[in-house]
Amino acid sequence: MTRAKRKHVHVLFTGGTISMRIDPGTRAAMPALSGEEIVARVRGLKQEAQLTLEDYARLPGPHVTPAWMWGLRGHVQKLLDRSDVHGVVVTHGTDTLEETAFLLDLTLDSPKPVVFCGAMRTVSEPGWDGPANLMAAVRTAVHPKAPGRGVLVAVGEEIFSAAEVSKWHTQRLDAFRSGRGPLAIVDRGQVRFQRPPARRKPLAARRLVAEVDLHTMATGVDDRLIRASLTRGARGLVIEATGCGNVPPGALPGLRKALASRIPVVVVSRCGEGRVSPAYGYEGGGQMLQALGVIFGGDLPGPKARIKLMAALGTTTKLPELRALFEDQSGSE
């Protein structure tokens, strides 16, 4: 009986804590390891799949930019278009992993699995979680139930949909969370899928419009920063509102100015979970914002809504079409 041919997984190493060690001089984490050096520390990984290792970058998560993410997206799409590649794994800094993974989930057009992973601890620290997360990512990429589920995130022995997951804790090994729960778990080393994700039609974005600013509302916030965004040429605004979609009255003049200038304004909540809605009728309440013409972003958190608006503006600049993109794909089942 012949052994089944192993699937080919292309692994892109882009940096992050999974590639870092503690510098003895500064006692702080710094990028250090190559992809081959990481894989050499993951016992048995090369038996899971035929691996191609590529050192694409060595960036800390906060150094990632929209332009860089768009370039990575194009590179991954080219890999997926190859008949000899069955899946792609991307290592990434966890600080911005959810944004890059979400962009790829929004815009890639392929049923082949793309799985992101990272680490919360460096190779210098006890309990380095990089090897376990990378093993889980590769095992997910070759899993027969992985195709067609969009971009996935493997961390802390759980597999999440990139459309649903966010980083919730600064340091814990299980730092990522989704209000809908994981799609799969790692059970004694085996990936076990529990449910399908809420799938969306990919955005046919021709480019990424990076001039989108994100503003968080709090008590007494006025419109000065919103006006500064308009002065510097923002093409879109995302407002992390309070509660289910409300803003202080002082922010309204700037929002009115943006909307009068045909600049799209997407409203989401600064709360960790839940959807926005036009539930309140007072000045600055969601009902007034709806009447002004804002777009409600469903249950998207602010950073993801910003990424989506960047991609949406690369698809269309017409406000009714932008509104439809968010209303149809903002996270509803």
What are the catalytic residues? 17
Element (H, E) at 193: strand 190-193
CA dist list (Å): 242 to 168, 221, 257: 18, 11, 21
Apex 187 CA angle, 185 and 192, nearest 5: 50
Q: What is the spatial distance between Cα 93 and Cα 331, in angstroms, rounded to a whole number?
A: 25
Q: What is the spatial distance between Cα 5 and Cα 22, in angstroms, rounded to a whole number?
A: 39
Length of the chain: 333
Write out the DSSP string of 204-249: --SS----EEEEE--TT--SHHHHHHHHTT-SEEEEEEBTTTB--G
Q: What is the spatial distance between Cα 165 and Cα 159, in angstroms, rounded to a whole number?
A: 10
Quick check: helix, strand or coil at residue 203? coil
CA dist list (Å): 215 to 34, 161, 243, 252: 37, 26, 15, 13
Q: Which amino acid is at 310?
A: M
